[in-house]
Amino acid sequence: MLKMFSPGLWIVLLMAAGSSVLIALLPVPTHPGMEMWVFDPNHAKIARFIAEDWNHGHASNPVTIHLITGAAIQSRMMSGFYSDTPVADLIEVERGMIGQVFAGPVADVGFMELTGRLDRENLRTGINGPSFSPWTTRGHIFGLPHDVHPAMLLYRADLVEAAGIDVSKIETWDDYFRMLRPLMQDLDGDGRVDRFLLNASPTSIYYQEVLLLQAGGRMFDEMNQPTLNEPVNARSIARLATWYAGPGHVASEITLGGASSMRLVREGYVVGLLAPDWFAGSIRTSLPDMAGKFKVMPLPAWEKGGRRTSVLGGTMLGITKAGRTPEDAWAFAKQLYLSPATAQRLYEEARIVTPIKANWSQSFYDVPDPYFCGQAIGRMYIRLAPDVPLRPSSPYYGLAQQLLNQSVSQLCTYADDHRLYDAAALVPEAQRLLNEAQRQLQAQMDRNAFLRPAAR
Amino acid sequence: MKPSRLHSAWTPWIFLAPFLLSFTAFIAWPAVRSLMLAFEQTFGPRTTAFVGLTNFRFMLHDPFFWTAVGNTVLFTVAAVVTQIPAALGLALLLNRADLRGRRLFRVIFFAPSIVGLAFVAIIYSIMLEKRTGFINSSLHSLLPAWDPDFPWLDHYVMPSLILAVLWLSAGFYMVYFLAALQNVPGELLDAANIDGASPWQRFRHVTLPEIRPVLNIILLLVVTGSFQLFELPYLLYNETNGNGPDNKALTIVTYLYQTGFRSGDLGYASAIGWLLTLVLVGLALVQRRLTQKEEL
């Protein structure tokens, strides 16, 4: 037998067998009780704080919080939903991830439906209504909303006030650009403007949607049917093009993230930035030396009496169908998301306001924030919370965003090519571009056999 | 059967077994499965619907797909006409015995290929940033009339991609050419020289035929690599999911990734993947045929 193979081959075989046994004997880390996946460090910190309390009272079913990057959560979550690979009991899902979860039949959504529970326990009315919209598909709610994310305008109060501009007189975007125009200056004497009034550009995919929603536009209706070519969208992007294109453009974009972009914010390259609550918190953390230089104000309306806010971003907590103890998961989800302690930590750590209406009366939202020149920004954001626009949960939301962005870019090019910077004159071209975008979006959606009415 | 014969019969299979197992599990079966997927619409493996040729038919009328094809083909042509001459030019230069410091230059030119596309994307996005980027701030310092907010990455999408990949790849392919040039028989070049051939004639009629096999391999690598372009546009134009302004950076593989892994439409993504495979195999066959003709 020994002579059947050469010594070298025996060594290879023994090494293969030995390493296989070693791998088989390696202990697999197991967590007793429930697991929760979180993508944001701030959310993880708060969840761990609440989990500590939960674990004291539920020693037999404790919860462990895992901080995992968003992309990894999406891959692992979808693998789990598709093919039963292990997933956590509870998963925090960011807005951009949810479309894929809702791309199949409702019965195949990997999260437990919460509609019945929310109604039975009378929770739905206690949560800010619009906050449910991104987590609802075909009339079924699959997540507990984490936030509201109303948008305001974060502006350089030091520059605006030094110029003697009274922002309380600003009601519309036209007022804003007209009154702040003196701030668009050539600071280094090269004949070019070095300061712009709004941080946005035709390529800023998220800001397009924020402004469109504020204007009363939308990309999908309540039934998640595409509405990209509605006339209000055409009128809105025609106005946006006049902000972005031409020699007198009032908006320019700093792609926020790196050190150089923060330098531009510090230098006042843009006076105003579209700022949901989380963004105000993020600026406060990223630029501590700018304390006392920023203030927030409701977004100027598109028309007099119009909506003064919009929405950007969002997170939900879902309970997976694969979880072994769904009742405990639901109990923990409520403890985590509904508690005043969470609301307080969320606001204090990240300036995020809770969607739980009962917590809106908490006094910590009224504490003046020295960073924002003593404004109680929590209260300001809460006042706008009920007005945030509804958002779609369509799996084609990302594509719609892309097509909208493409239309705005093409419209800006058209405006420059024809030296046409009047919104009314740009509407027909805007409508044509959006009609084409709508046709492309509809064609992609029509291909999905699982979203056709008969398959729902 | 005698032990020695058994030995000789089983040994190759035992050595091949790990490869065969992993090849079957990770290459062959996924390839078969993806071919099946190309004819299905899926929401995970449990929810599938056979759709026949629908995915392929849709591809024919899908403007995103054709934009991606157009961009990819344009990039590939540009990559071939820039990378190969640049790499060959550098190799010819560094092959000169009279060039001082040529070892140092070889390291300098080869270095970008070590860092990888992700690093190149980050460097480029920082260099080309408006106002604070090295290019804009330098140009503005030298020429005050230069707009410091010039959006290089928005205005010159394809040139940015071509330039970034050229910087990364020219040094890499240069090494192949250098190796080939060093194998060109010196006596042939000497003979041509004695016959009065000009430097261009020596290159055209002696060097080029000698390095042609390597040139063909590099051509194949550049073409297939260009058709698979993904990381660079994805990272450079991350804000638009790799599409770039007005979809000018959208490549076939970026579209495949978005379709399969962001939208979850694995059926359509598989159809795109198979079409890409067929195109690449076709190009390889055409090139092989042309090479064989030249050799004959």
Q: Domain count of chain A? A: 2
Whether the Cβ atoms of residue A339 and residue A130 lie closer than 8 Å to each other: no
Domain assignment of residue A4, yes or no: no
Residues A165 and A258 in one domain: yes
Q: Of the residues A335, A352, A375, which one is the last residue of a structural domain?
A: A375
Domain of A215: which CATH number?
3.40.190.10
Domain assignment of residue A385, yes or no: no
Select from B132, B140, B265 the Cβ nearest to the Cβ of A260: B132
Whether the Cβ atoms of residue A313 and residue A352 lie closer than 8 Å to each other: no
Residues A370 and A396 in one domain: no
**Nearest CA to CA, how far is B138 from chain A (Å)?**
14
What band does A450 get if pLDDT is binned at 50, 70 and 90? confident
CA distance A414 to A408: 10
Domain assignment of residue A26, yes or no: no
Domain assignment of residue A384, yes or no: no
Q: Residue B291: its pLDDT value, please?
A: 77
Residues A326 and A430 in one domain: no
In angstroms, the Cα distances linking A170 to A159, A188, A240, A389, B51 are 16, 29, 18, 21, 56
Q: Can you list the domains of chain B with their CATH numbers?
A: 51-295 (1.10.3720.10)
Domain assignment of residue A198, yes or no: yes
A92 or A257: which leads in pLDDT: A92
Whether the Cβ atoms of residue B108 and residue B151 lie closer than 8 Å to each other: no
Residue-averaged pLDDT of chain A: 92
Residues A253 and A395 in one domain: yes
Chain A neighbors of B149, CB-CB under 8 A = 192, 252
Residues A408 and A261 in one domain: yes
**A258/B144 Cβ within 8 A:** no
Q: Residue B12: its pLDDT value, please?
A: 85
Select from A5, A252, A398 the Cβ nearest to the Cβ of B262: A398
DSSP A215: T
CA distance A43 to A67: 9
Residues A99 and A238 in one domain: no
* CB-based contact, A82 to chain B, within 8 Å: yes
Residues A235 and A289 in one domain: yes
Angle between helices B208-227 and B266-295 (to 10 degrees): 170
Residues A157 and A248 in one domain: yes
List, for residues A1-18, the tens digit of each pLDDT value: 667 778 888 888 899 899
Chain B neighbors of A104, CB-CB under 8 A = 43-44, 47, 264
Question: Which residue segment(s) compose the domain that A338 sits in?
Answer: 34-145+313-375
List, for residues A318-343, the tens digit of each pLDDT value: 999 999 999 999 999 999 999 999 99
Chain B neighbors of A405, CB-CB under 8 A = 240
Within a 10 A sphere around the Cβ of B234, how many other Cβ atoms? 22
* CB-based contact, A454 to chain B, within 8 Å: no
* CB-based contact, A402 to chain B, within 8 Å: yes
> Residue A199 burial by CB count (10 A; 0-12/13-18/19+): exposed, middle or buried?
buried
Long-range pairs, B84-87, Cβ under 8 A, ≥24: B84/B173, B84/B215, B84/B218, B84/B219, B84/B222, B86/B166, B86/B170, B87/B169, B87/B170, B87/B171, B87/B172, B87/B173, B87/B174, B87/B176, B87/B177, B87/B218
Domain assignment of residue A2, yes or no: no
The answer to whether residue A39 scores a pLDDT higher than 60 is: yes
The answer to whether residue B70 scores a pLDDT higher than 80 is: yes
Q: Of the residues A352, A375, A398, which one is the last residue of a structural domain?
A: A375
Sign of CA dihedral A104, A106, A108, A114: positive
The C-alpha angle A217, A221, A225, rounded to 5 degrees, equals 125
Chain B neighbors of A447, CB-CB under 8 A = 41, 54, 58, 268
* CB-based contact, A405 to chain B, within 8 Å: yes
CA distance A292 to B37: 58
- Among B13, B22, B43, most A C-beta atoms within 10 A, so best to mutate, is B43
Reduce the DSSP state of residue A362 to 3 states and report it: coil
List, for residues A20-37, the tens digit of each pLDDT value: 999 988 887 677 899 999
Q: Of the residues A375, A401, A428, which one is the last residue of a structural domain?
A: A375
Domain assignment of residue A13, yes or no: no
List, for residues B267-283, the tens digit of each pLDDT value: 999 999 999 899 889 98
CA distance A185 to A156: 15
**B63/A104 Cβ within 8 A:** no
* CB-based contact, A406 to chain B, within 8 Å: yes
CA distance A410 to A404: 10
**A82/B262 Cβ within 8 A:** no
Q: Could you tell me which residues come within 8 angstroms of residue A259 by beta carbon, excluding any fewer than 6 positions away?
A: none
Select from B14, B133, B239 the Cβ nearest to the Cβ of A9: B14
Which backbone phi and psi does A357 adopt, to 5 degrees? -60, -35
Complete DSSP assignment for A47-116 = HHHHHHHHHHH-TTS-EEEEE--HHHHHHHHHHHHHH-----SEEEEEGGGHHHHTSS-GGG-SBPP-HH
Distance of CA A79 to the CA centre of its chain: 23
* CB-based contact, A105 to chain B, within 8 Å: yes
Nearest to B227 by CA among B90, B22, B31, B74: B74
Residues A296 and A335 in one domain: no
Select from B18, B147, B265 the Cβ nearest to the Cβ of A192: B147
In angstroms, the Cα distances linking A253 to A26, A197, A247, B129 are 52, 10, 15, 11
State the first-to-last Cα distance of chain A, in angstroms, to the nearest integer.
64
Chain B neighbors of A449, CB-CB under 8 A = 41, 49, 51
DSSP A2: G
Residues A128 and A189 in one domain: no
Chain B neighbors of A413, CB-CB under 8 A = 246
**A3/B140 Cβ within 8 A:** no
List, for residues B241-255, the tens digit of each pLDDT value: 888 888 999 999 999
What band does A245 get if pLDDT is binned at 50, 70 and 90? very high
Residues A267 and A278 in one domain: yes
List, for residues A160-217, the tens digit of each pLDDT value: 999 999 999 999 999 999 999 999 988 888 888 999 999 998 888 888 999 999 999 9
A196, β-bridge pairs:
A270
Domain assignment of residue A175, yes or no: yes
The C-alpha angle B101, B103, B108, rounded to 5 degrees, equals 95
Q: ipTM of this model?
A: 0.80
Residues A324 and A354 in one domain: yes
